[in-house]
Amino acid sequence: MTIKELLERLERLKDGLSDVDNRYGIEGTMDDIALLMDDVDSFGVEDDDGEKLKEENEFLQKDSLSMFNRIKELLHKIEGLEKENEFYKKIKRENLL
């Protein structure tokens, strides 16, 4: 994968994430990031002339993993908020609030 191809995929991920409005969209984005991480790990990144970029590849792997973990944290927060919201709806239905 060349730097240009990597940047295009990252741009698509960024655009897709900005359109996400539910946890399923976030999970889909996580799958896309995981696939990109696998591609970088398997094939590495080349400059536009076809030479491997070892140092940059290591950075990209760490950075991708960091982004992936941050999105997982956000997904867990969303799930917690959904459960909390259901709890308050139940209390309201039972006229306890």
Q: Which residues of 7-22 are buried (b: 16+ CB within 10 A; e: fewer)?
A: eebbeebeeebeeeee
35 and 29 Cβ atoms separated by less than 8 Å:
no
Statement: the pTM of the whole predicted model exceeds 0.75: no
pLDDT digits (tens, 9 = 90+) for 26-76: 888 888 888 887 887 777 777 666 666 566 666 666 777 777 777 778 777
Give the residue numbers spanning the domain of 29: 3-93
How many domains does the chain contain in total? 1
pLDDT digits (tens, 9 = 90+) for 76-96: 788 888 888 888 778 777 776
